[in-house]
Amino acid sequence: MGLFLFVGMLWGIPYLLIRVAVTQVAPPVIVFSRVIIGAFILLPLALKNKIFTELSGKWKYVFGYAVGEMVIPWILISQAEKNLPSGLAGLLVATVPIFSSIFASIDGDKSVWHHKRLFGMIIGFIGMALVIGIESFKGNISLLSVSEIIIGAIGYAWATALVTKHMPKVDGISINAAALFITALVYLPLFIWKFPVHSLRLTVISSLIALGIFPTAAAFVLYFILMREVGPARGSLVTYLNTSFAVILGIIFLKEKLTLGIIIGLPLVLIGSYLAGRKEKIIEPAPLMER
């Protein structure tokens, strides 16, 4: 239970750290900083797991995963958090299981249209619409920034579907280490161009380092340990802790307000995401006796 909560917290803190860093640092610098730190932390583990053997013949899928999981979402989320509270950003990312269900359906998973999962998708979208509608009406959010977060969530869902379909048995640490290095190469020119010439506050520097160490590297390692201990079905439930931690940390450390939109929409998004991502057990018919 302790590891379960800790991983949930690790994946809930990037929104807080990004919100702090983006006050002084351009989004490409944030992305490059976190991926290069994370990549070098995961590299020894990936080499131990024989990364080049693991990924042989799979590099086009690794590149696709890097684009969907890191290159596009992390720049969009960093850009969006210039105008959005960290808690709201975390809440919108919680729609990933809903979009994952849609991609799973496209790939032939008919269980997505089970009445409970379909109900979950509807509830989740209603929750998201209420958050966006209430906060927009009150003038608290930028719809462009909301769109950037939602596109990032769709990217996460697509990347997960890509791995599930094409690399289901490939070592996860190897995939993520390679994807982090690919993302670093993509953002290196922008990092050099946008590197700040002014001095940075210690809190900003600390946030960049922490972003690379904890939610980018450590969370991946600990998540795979958690998966081995409790299994993939229960391990995936950690996703639903992320949003709660993002909202709570934003309130505590950044003095963000617990708005009406979040109060109403958060439970609906979490319940909807849980139901949409929950697979029903299929009872297989007993095999025929051999004659």
Range of 36's domain? 2-277
Residue 155 pLDDT > 60, yes or no? yes
Q: Looking at per-residue confidence, does 31 or 102 come out higher?
A: 31
Convert the pLDDT of each residue in 2-20 to its tens digit: 888 898 899 899 999 999 9
Q: Which of 69-83, 122-136, 176-190, 242-256 has the lowest mean pLDDT?
A: 122-136
Q: What is the pLDDT of residue 234?
A: 58
Residue 235 pLDDT > 80, yes or no? no
Type of residue numbered 241: L
Give the DSSP H/E element, type plus range, for residue 26: none
Count up the domains in the chain and report the number: 1
pTM reported for the whole predicted model: 0.89
**287 falls in which pLDDT band (50, 70, 90)?**
very low
Residue 71 maps to a domain: yes
Residue 211 maps to a domain: yes
Q: What is the pLDDT of residue 63?
A: 98
**203 falls in which pLDDT band (50, 70, 90)?**
very high
Q: What is the pLDDT of residue 120?
A: 85
Residue 199 maps to a domain: yes
Residue 124 maps to a domain: yes
Residue 106 pLDDT > 70, yes or no? yes
Q: Looking at per-residue confidence, does 177 or 238 come out higher?
A: 177
The CA distances from residue 161 to 14, 167, 254, 271, in Å, are: 23, 10, 34, 21
Residue 78 pLDDT > 90, yes or no? yes
Residue 35 pLDDT > 50, yes or no? yes
**280 falls in which pLDDT band (50, 70, 90)?**
low
Residue 287 maps to a domain: no
Q: What is the mean pLDDT of residues 139-149?
A: 88
**223 falls in which pLDDT band (50, 70, 90)?**
confident
Residue 284 maps to a domain: no
Quote the distance between the C-alpha of residue 24 and its chain's center.
Answer: 23
Q: What is the pLDDT of residue 86?
A: 94
Distance in angstroms (rounded) separating the CA atoms of residues 130 and 273: 15
Residue 285 maps to a domain: no
Percentage of the chain exceeding pLDDT 70: 90
Q: What is the mean pLDDT of residues 40-53?
A: 94
Distance in angstroms (rounded) separating the CA atoms of residues 75 and 194: 13
The CA distances from residue 257 to 51, 82, 102, 247, in Å, are: 44, 16, 32, 9
Residue 291 maps to a domain: no
**28 falls in which pLDDT band (50, 70, 90)?**
very high
